[in-house]
């Protein structure tokens, strides 16, 4: 099985990260570090890490598959060099202060820093022993039989619960269910102290609705299930442990940063009785963590972006908790150290090129309708649905039977009847040999290579492993051209991209005249060997 080039890029980059910790001068025959320089453009070094980062982006964008050969790395390096000249031009024009760019880089920086902190301070602490897993399994994989009552408001839930308690718990009605608690911490906290027959207190569920339950019975988990599902138990344990560690860490951070956290409770109480989004561009500050502020207008944006109904208290808590974690992660300074520092710079450079294209190049480009029509006429086959073939199949075990069936088919015998009565393939037999409508690419390779004419009525036979296969093209449905109007926007986007590249090539041609470029070919060759 071949490994895709993009997968190789990831593997090599991982190896280079390991090698980057090895102290070495220059490049040896056996080592190449991610910090080694492949080229210098006007004094700016293009490192192995930056180069591999861009290679990964390009191949992800092109969606290369495993059977696509790797590109010529020197050609690709020249592309990176040309991109560097464009980035320098964008910086010269002051586009690196673009608000969208600054916001995106900040978001990427914070997210990356938080990810590193999470890995070092949460995930690294989760390493369960067999005893830990067994104890967790005994507690969390019990099977609870409950009656579940759910309500829109806490008041309604409390009222129904009190009424039920007065009548007696045996009168409980509602949704009857059996469940384990491996995926529901709220229910676990609710049920862990209860005995069969008890009715729980009212609690708020993950869906924002209020509920209580009556516990009917508890069934202990079996060790046979544990043995068969140990990986699932371990996964559930890790989820619970992550939540516990997160809660402890967040509590610690809230205490540490208490002096930089502010919440205007007066405004919060005011907003609870209003439609926040109806207040327009309300700039009043509701909360602050350090230098990060949340205004009324920002709350409206968060509510609008949420897929679920959001309560103000929960929204504010989540925002404050998130900013506390961000503040802590940035305070650790990982974004100022390698390799994250270089990754942030690489990310910023790629976005800066996009800003340059949108601000400088895109306004110059005009695409006329006649160009779109001309492109469609010249590339019409690209906008044609694939030809479909309806295949019939018979699979038999002996060459003798295969040749007898071929003779009968050529003599006019019904293919479907023969498939139903002689094919050893259960699906072929049950469907009278019908494989359905298939495009050329959907047909298996070993079938495709034996079909010669691709015309209706063609019959072929061949050996496929221990069996013999008879195929018949029952029907052919020619592909149809997509109407121009349905593909017009796709063509426009393609022509726009081509014209953008043409403009960039012209600019690079001018910039290259005064550029000072040096390529370290020995290091590039070493990288090719690693790939």
Q: What is the tens place of the pLDDT at every residue in 438-467?
A: 999 899 998 999 998 899 999 999 998 899
pLDDT at 180: 64
Neighbours of 156 (CB within 10 A): 12
Specify the range with the lowest mean pLDDT, choosing from 199-208, 230-239, 455-464.
Answer: 199-208
pLDDT at 468 over 60: yes
Higher-scoring residue by pLDDT: 24, 285: 285
SS3 518: strand
Mean pLDDT of the chain: 87
CATH of domain 142-220: 3.10.50.40
Per DSSP, 93 falls in state T
* Residue bearing tokens 């492993």: 465
pLDDT at 71 over 70: no
- Cα distance between residue 181 and residue 378, in whole Å: 62
Over residues 116-127, the mean pLDDT reads: 94
Phi and psi for 226 in degrees, rounded to 5? -60, -45
* Residue bearing tokens 């600019």: 507
* Residue bearing tokens 């861009």: 54
Phi and psi for 266 in degrees, rounded to 5? -65, -45
Contact criterion met (CB below 8 Å) for 296 and 279: yes
Confidence of residue 311 (pLDDT cuts 50, 70, 90): confident
- Cα distance between residue 497 and residue 437, in whole Å: 35
pLDDT at 69 over 60: no
- Cα distance between residue 504 and residue 79, in whole Å: 11
Confidence of residue 175 (pLDDT cuts 50, 70, 90): low
- Cα distance between residue 428 and residue 393, in whole Å: 6
* Residue bearing tokens 């190896």: 15
pLDDT at 381: 86
Nearest to 73 by CA among 87, 63, 62, 59: 59
Higher-scoring residue by pLDDT: 66, 471: 471
pLDDT at 483: 92
- Cα distance between residue 11 and residue 186, in whole Å: 41
Where along the chain do the CATH 3.10.50.40 domains lie?
142-220, 386-477
Confidence of residue 208 (pLDDT cuts 50, 70, 90): confident
Contacts of 159 (CB under 8 A, 6+ apart): none
Contact criterion met (CB below 8 Å) for 433 and 394: yes
Tokens of 279: 């207040």
Nearest to 84 by CA among 405, 448, 508: 508
Which helix (H) or strand (E) is 513 found in, with range? none
Confidence of residue 527 (pLDDT cuts 50, 70, 90): confident
Contacts of 516 (CB under 8 A, 6+ apart): 40, 41, 42, 43
pTM for this model (two decimals): 0.71
pLDDT at 14: 45
Q: Maximum Cα–Cα distance for the chain, whole Å?
A: 93
Confidence of residue 30 (pLDDT cuts 50, 70, 90): very low
- Angle made by CA atoms 441, 444, 449, in degrees to the nearest 5: 90
pLDDT at 176: 66
pLDDT at 21 over 70: no
Confidence of residue 25 (pLDDT cuts 50, 70, 90): very low
517-519 and 175-179 strand pairing: unpaired
For the residues of 427-471, what is the DSSP string, one character each?
Answer: HHHHTTTEEEEEEGGGS-HHHHTT--S--TT-EEEEEETTEEEEE
Model pLDDT for residues 395-437, shown as the tens digit of each residue? 999 999 999 999 999 999 999 999 999 999 887 788 899 999 9
Specify the range with the lowest mean pLDDT, choosing from 165-174, 290-299, 301-310, 319-328.
Answer: 165-174
Contact criterion met (CB below 8 Å) for 105 and 351: yes
pLDDT at 24: 35
Over residues 481-505, the mean pLDDT reads: 94
SS3 44: strand
Neighbours of 491 (CB within 10 A): 20
Q: In what order do the strands lie in the sheet with 292-295?
A: 261-263, 285-289, 292-295
- Cα distance between residue 49 and residue 340, in whole Å: 11
Helix, strand, coil % over all residues of the chain, rounded to 5: 55, 15, 25
Per-residue b or e along 70-94, where b marks 16 or more CB atoms closer than 10 Å to that residue's CB: bbebeebbeebbbbbbbbbbbeeee
- Cα distance between residue 408 and residue 366, in whole Å: 64
CATH of domain 386-477: 3.10.50.40
Model pLDDT for residues 161-171, shown as the tens digit of each residue? 998 888 876 66
pLDDT at 186: 77
Higher-scoring residue by pLDDT: 344, 166: 344
pLDDT at 61: 56
């Amino acid at each position: 099985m071949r490994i895709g080039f993009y997968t190789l890029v990831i593997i090599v980059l991982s190896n280079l990260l390991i090698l980057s910790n090895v102290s070495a001068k220059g490049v040896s025959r056996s080592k190449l570090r991610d910090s080694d320089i492949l080229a210098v453009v006007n004094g700016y070094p293009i490192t192995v890490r930056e180069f591999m980062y861009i290679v990964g982006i390009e191949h992800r964008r092109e969606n290369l598959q495993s059977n696509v050969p790797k590109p010529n790395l020197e050609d690709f390096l020249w592309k990176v060099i040309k991109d560097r000249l464009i980035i320098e031009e964008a910086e010269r024009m002051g586009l690196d202060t673009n608000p969208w760019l600054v916001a995106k880089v900040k978001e990427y920086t914070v997210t990356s820093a938080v990810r590193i902190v999470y890995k070092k301070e949460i995930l690294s602490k989760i390493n369960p022993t067999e005893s830990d897993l067994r104890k967790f399994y005994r507690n969390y994989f019990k099977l609870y039989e409950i009656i579940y009552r759910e309500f829109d408001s806490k008041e309604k839930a409390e009222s129904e619960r009190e009424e039920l308690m007065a009548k007696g718990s045996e009168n409980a009605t509602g949704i009857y269910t059996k469940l384990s608690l491996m995926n529901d911490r709220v229910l676990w906290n609710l049920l862990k102290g209860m005995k069969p027959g008890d009715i729980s207190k009212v609690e708020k569920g993950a869906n924002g609705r209020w509920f209580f339950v009556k516990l009917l019975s508890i069934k202990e988990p079996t060790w046979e299930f544990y043995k068969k599902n140990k990986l699932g138990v371990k996964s559930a344990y890790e989820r619970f442990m992550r939540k516990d560690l997160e809660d402890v860490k967040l509590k610690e951070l809230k205490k540490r940063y208490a002096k930089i956290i502010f919440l205007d409770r007066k405004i919060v109480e005011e907003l609870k009785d209003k439609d926040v989004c109806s207040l327009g561009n309300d700039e009043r500050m509701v909360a602050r963590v350090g230098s990060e502020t949340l205004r009324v207008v920002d709350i409206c944006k968060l509510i609008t972006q949420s897929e679920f109904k959001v309560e103000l208290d929960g929204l504010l808590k989540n925002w404050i908790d998130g900013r506390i974690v961000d503040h802590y992660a940035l305070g650790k300074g990982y974004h100022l150290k390698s390799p994250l520092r270089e990754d942030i710079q690489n990310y910023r450079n790629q976005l800066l090129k996009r800003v340059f294209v949108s601000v400088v190049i895109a306004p110059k480009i005009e695409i006329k309708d006649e160009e779109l029509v001309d492109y469609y006429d010249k590339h019409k086959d690209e906008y044609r649905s694939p030809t479909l073939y309806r295949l019939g199949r018979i699979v038999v075990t002996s060459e003798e039977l295969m040749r007898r069936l071929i003779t009968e088919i050529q003599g006019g015998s019904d293919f479907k009847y023969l498939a139903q009565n002689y094919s050893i393939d259960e699906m072929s037999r049950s469907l009278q040999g019908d494989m359905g409508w298939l495009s050329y690419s959907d047909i298996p390779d070993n079938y495709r290579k034996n079909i010669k004419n691709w015309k209706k009525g063609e019959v072929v036979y061949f050996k496929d492993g221990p069996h013999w296969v008879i195929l018949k093209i029952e029907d052919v449905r020619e592909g149809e051209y997509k109407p121009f109007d349905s593909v017009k926007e796709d063509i426009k986007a393609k022509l726009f991209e081509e014209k953008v590249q043409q403009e960039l090539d012209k600019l690079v041609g001018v910039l290259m005249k005064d550029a000072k470029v040096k390529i370290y070919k020995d290091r590039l060759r070493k990288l090719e060997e690693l790939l």
